[in-house]
Amino acid sequence: MQQKAYLMVPGPTPVPERVQAAMHRPMINHRGPSYEAMFRDISARLKTLFHTDHDVLTYPCAGTGAMEAAIVNLFSPGEKVLVVTIGVFGDRFAEIAAAHGLQVEVMTVKRGAAACPSALAARLAEDEGGEIKGVVVTHNETSTGVTNDVRALAKAKGKHPALFIVDAVSALGAIPMRMDEWGIDAVVTGSQKALMIPPGLAFLAMNGRAWAAYEQSAMPKYYWDAKKIKKSLDKGQNPYTPPVSLLFGLQESLAMIEEEGEEAIVARHVLLGQAVRAGVQALGLQLFAEPEAASSVVTAVCVPDGVDGKALQKKMRDAFGVTMAGGQKELEGKIFRIGHLGHVAPADVLVTLAMLEMALTEMAVKVQLGAGVAAAQQVFLAARREEK
Ligand SMILES: Cc1ncc(COP(=O)(O)O)c(C=O)c1O
């Protein structure tokens, strides 16, 4: 029998059948009235999801494209930005800024920990001349399974005039985001995570301060030019041919998100995270992230001593049908990551833990079969009792 495949990576995430079906609709003219109605509807719903009154710009690209769009639209070469990095994706934002000729100051946080708001406040307090034009943070660092307290970081940035920019690629839609209320100037996200559609769309929301910075920006831009996107958006259009099928999918996934409700989605992810962490710990495995910073959408687990991390991932995928992610860069081979983001339910977590128990047993790691599953079941049952 062919393996039934479980995609337990933190993106791309499983695409619900409803969304798949929506994407199979026949093609339409992207300059016609039905596209315009759909795109206006999607753009309005995205604002709700970002909790902003400002426009959310849609770019056909990977999340990294929207990160680059933020840099080229908001800054000029030679300006200084402070990038607070807690992992691979924070590092990437710093690299993009440097590639565009910005002066990049990197505040590096120990892997596995979250950024410290008071450290940010202290650094900005030293910047009396307002040399720092932008502060960049990652909402959920997918490479380490750590979530930053973005609200506290935004508060720590306080009245310093720098723009506050958040990479919410693996967070938005699953972890609370209040762009306007928290005073965030620009937010970036992607389609293949909590939004439950395939990769290929990314989004950039900019507030009034960000648009004012756009007007000052001397960075060369064409495809990423936010004003071109905004002008078209005002007409229910995109400047260039959009991936229409992905937008069919997005309209359906946004409907699903509204049906489940934001609060319920956030709570579901919190519960999935608790269950995964309880499960792996019951197997005697170590979590990589500091407990208070552990992500609700991806769990990083230390590869047990004597185990080849890549071989474990391969066995999970090929023998047991569960695809997990490995560690990136310096964490390659040291951790594996279980994604529990988007269209994921308790049953997926139980299958993953059950298969992990078998894979580890075959790799001669002493685990008690059923212990991980039982610990996760207890978490789910306790939540059900609380609900009643
Ligand atoms: C936090 C974060 N930022 C940025 C990205 C980059 O997104 P993409 O791979 O779509 O370019 C990712 C992708 O996993 C991510 O998790």
Span 90-129, pLDDT tens digits: 999 999 999 999 999 999 999 999 999 999 999 999 999 9
Q: How far is the CA of 310 from the centre of ligand 1 (A)?
A: 21
- Please state which architecture CATH assigns to domain 261-387: Alpha-Beta Complex (3.90)
- Is residue 1 pLDDT above 70, yes or no? no
The pLDDT tens digits for 249-258 are: 999 999 999 9
Show Cβ contacts of residue 215 under 8 Å, excluding neighbours closer than 6 positions. Answer: none
Mutate which of 89, 137, 172, 246 for ligand 1? The one with the most ligand atoms within 8 Å of its CB, which is 89
Q: What is the pLDDT of residue 388?
A: 86
Whether 315 contacts 363, CB under 8 Å: yes
Q: Which H or E run contains 187?
A: strand 186-190
Interval 41-60 mean pLDDT: 98
pLDDT of residue 269: 98
Query: Which residues in 195-257 belong to E strands, given as ranges?
Result: 201-206
Give pLDDT, residue 213: 98
Q: Does the Cβ of 189 fall within 6 Å of ligand 1?
A: no
Q: What's the pLDDT band for 156 if we cut at 50, 70, 90? A: very high
Q: What percent of the chain has pLDDT over 90?
A: 98
Cβ of 89 closer than 6 Å to ligand 1, yes or no, is yes
* Domain ranges (residues) in the chain: 17-258, 261-387
- Tell me the pTM: 0.98
Residue in 344, 334, 298, 294 with CA at minimum distance from that of residue 313: 334
Residue 33 Cα to ligand 1 middle (Å)? 33
Which range (210-214, 279-283, 359-363, 384-388) has the least confidence?
384-388
Residue 144 CB less than 6 A away from ligand 1: no
Name the architecture of domain 17-258: 3-Layer(aba) Sandwich (3.40)
Query: What average pLDDT does the segment 34-61 reach?
Result: 98
Bond preceding residue 161 cis, omega within 30 of 0: no
- Asked whether residue 36 carries a pLDDT value surpassing 70, the answer given is yes
Classified as helix, coil or strand, 192 is: coil
User: Which of ligand 1's atoms lies nearest the C-alpha of 168?
Assistant: 1
Pocket flag, ligand 1, residue 382 (CB < 6 Å): no
Q: How far, in Å, CA of 148 to CA of 137, rounded?
A: 8
Q: Mean pLDDT over residues 27-48, rounded?
A: 98
C-alpha distances in angstroms, 262 versus 88, 115, 191, 255, 354? 28, 25, 17, 11, 29
pLDDT over 80 at 238, yes or no: yes
- Confidence at residue 295, expressed as pLDDT on a 0 to 100 scale: 98
**pLDDT one-digit tens code per residue, 277-332:** 999 999 999 999 999 999 999 999 999 999 999 999 999 999 999 999 999 999 99
* Ligand 1 atom closest to the CA of 143, numbered from 1: 16
Atom of ligand 1 nearest to the CA of 140: 1
| Predicted local distance difference test score (pLDDT) of residue 3 | 76
- Give the length of the chain: 388
pLDDT tens readout for residues 198-209: 999 999 999 999
pLDDT at 2: 67
User: So what's the pLDDT on residue 223?
Assistant: 98
- The confidence score (pLDDT) of residue 248 equals 98
Site to substitute for ligand 1 among 67, 142, 172, 328, most atoms within 8 A of C-beta: 142
- Centre of ligand 1 to C-alpha 140, Å, is 10
Given a cut of 70, whether residue 130 has pLDDT beyond it is: yes
